[in-house]
Every structure is written in structure tokens, then in C-alpha cells.
Amino acid sequence: MNGLKASVVIPVHNAARDAAALIDGVRATGLRGYEIIVVDDGSSDGTSAACAAKEGVRVVTLAANGGPARARNVGAAAARGEVLIFLDADVVLPRGSDVLRGMVEVLDADPSVDFVVTISDARPVAPSAVAYNYSVYHAYYMERLLGGREEVRGRLMFFTTRLGAIRREKFRRAGGFYESLRTVMNEDGEFGTRCWHLGYRGCCRADLAHSHRYATGFGRFARNYFLTAMVQAFISAKMDTSPDPSVAAPERARRLLAFALLLSPLLLLRLPARLAWAVVAGLLLLLLASFGRLHALVRRSVPARDRPAWYLVYVAITPAILFGYLYGRVLHVLGLSPLRGRPSESEFFTTEPAA
């Protein structure tokens, strides 16, 4: 063996400052016996130079931007460690964090565990109503996954590409991430579902956490969730996703109520004003009641001044999610799904390693 326990793979695109700071953050953790591989995905801002200036960092430079899935696959193929730790440049590791070492220790201690997922702090690095929507939804998902426990081990239909660890050989056998999914917030869901169907076992621990710098612009937020919903439609058509807590009935009901609320003012064109507004008010009350324990998470995580905006953003983003899912189903029926064939054609995934 080469003595390396872990390979930290960081895909970056025009993120010179964040990537350099993240490398320093990795160096400050308690992780031992590791290498850092930065895959510069066609940057034009000097990312390669900024990362190469850091001692002991290997930089793989791609000629053209191919998306984070391809960048992670390239990094995995270049890695020498037994464990792959995928780490995004917009992640912030808490000062004194041992989350990286903790993930490797889980895999060391339990050979039956194939991968480890981590939790994002519900308080984003750059707070805004949009960023809180990202972070609270993630926290809600993870609370459902943990179910009040400190740790869950077993078949998990979930993988965190922003910060997650997987045995290198298991990643190779899974086929890597789908390189045709060139955008954020969708290749991880597909990969997690595939791992579940392969029978892989994962571990989620409440203390393995990090902070995340979510996007704060509504346009990018809407685009990300539209694409995520579109890919979710492909995944659901190709594989059984019923064990996935992120597609639970309460969340679907909330989204449908939110969409009905957005359309309800049109009733003013057909009904007497008093009756129409009564329907609007009724839908609003039903929606608020449907949040249930999610209200507690919002109160716990979102500052009081940002809570009204959080609910408004939640409602406003709903059409992007619903239309994204509908569009994905239409594309699937037309045979235009990007999930055909191998996730990657790289020799790393298609060739058996030498004995």
C-alpha cells in the first residue's frame, strides 16, 4: 500500500479564494494520512495557481468545464487513498473540526459501512431568506433520516457530495457520478439512489457536520430546484425511490397547497370577492398548518426578522419544483432522459483493476 488512508477530492470552478481557504481548513483538521486533489474544472480566475501554491496539493486541470460530476470522477480516478472524501469549495469546516477524521474512523471501525454522509448546519454561511430555504430543507431531510437518533447505519438512499466519504473501490464499482448531469443539486441524489439499489450501507451521524455557503440569489435558487426536480423525475422513473424521506407525502402535500395558494387569486375573476378571499385565507391556513414540526425547525434556525421571507420564498419556489418534475416526466416519456448508459466512460470505472 502507499500509506494513504484518504484522498480529499475538491472540484472547483472559478473559486480561487474559497478553494484556497478550504485547503487551509482541511490542513487544520485532525485528519492524518491523506492527500488533497483539486480538480480545476476549466476555471478562468487563477484557481489552479492559487491551489497549486498550497504545499502538498495535487492539481488536475481540465481544459473545459464539464460539470462537478465529471470533476469528481476525474479526481477519484487520480486518487491513491482507500477512502474518497468529496468536498465542495463552498463548504466551511468549523474551526477545530474533526469531521474528516470522524468519517474515516467510521469506515475504519466498521467494514460493513461503505459510505458516510454529513449534515449541513441549518445556519448558512451567508444568511438570506433563500439560503435559509436551502439549509432548513436540508436540516428537515436529515432530521427525518435520523428520526431523533444520534446515528443511523444501514441502506441510505442519500449521499452528500458537498462533504461525503466512500470507499474508493465501492465508488469505482458503482460507476461514479453521472457526467451528463452537469449542474449542481442532482447528481448526488441519483448516486445515493443507485447506492441503495446496489445494497451499499451508509452511516449518518448527527455530530459529523459542516457549514455551507448556499447561493443567495432567487434566480439561481429557482434554476437549481427546477433541475433537481427534473432529475428526480428521471430517478423515480428508472429506480424505486419510495424509501427516500425527501419525497415523503407531507412535503408533496405542502407543495401542492403552496401552488394552489399561488393560483387562488384567480378565483377573483370567477367568484364574488368575499368568497374568493375566504378560499385564499382557507388555503393559507391549511398550508401553515401543514408545516407541522417544520415550524419548530424554522423557529430554531431562522432569525425572527427573516421568517416571513422564508415562508414567502418557500411558496414562491413551488412552481419551479412542480414544473421541473412535470418537465422531467415528459422528457422521460419522450426517451430524452440523461440517465441512459454508463454514468462515466472513464477507464477507472469500466476496467477491472489488476490483481
Q: What is the C-alpha to C-alpha distance for residues 345 and 341, in angstroms, rounded to an integer?
A: 9
Tens digit of pLDDT for each residue in 23-50? 999 998 889 999 999 999 999 888 999 9
Q: Look at residue 3 in the predicted model and tell me its pLDDT.
A: 58
SS3 81: coil
- Residue ranges per domain, the chain? 6-215, 245-333
Please report which confidence band the pLDDT of residue 1 belongs to, taking 50, 70 and 90 as the band edges: very low
Cell of 113: 459501512
Tens digit of pLDDT for each residue in 220-273? 999 999 999 999 999 999 898 888 776 678 888 999 999 999 999 898 888 899
Cell of 106: 467510521
Q: What is the C-alpha to C-alpha distance for residues 154 and 170, in angstroms, rounded to an integer?
A: 15
Q: Look at residue 184 in the predicted model and tell me its pLDDT.
A: 65
Q: What is the C-alpha to C-alpha distance for residues 117 and 328, in angstroms, rounded to an integer?
A: 27
Domain 6-215: which CATH number of 3.30.450.70, 3.90.550.10, 2.70.98.10, 3.40.50.720? 3.90.550.10
Q: What is the C-alpha to C-alpha distance for residues 6 and 9, in angstroms, rounded to an integer?
A: 9
Task: For residue 348, count other CB atoms closer than 10 A to its CB.
Answer: 19
Cell of 69: 460530476
β-strands 115-120, 34-41: how paired? unpaired
**What pTM, to 2 d.p., does this model score?**
0.93
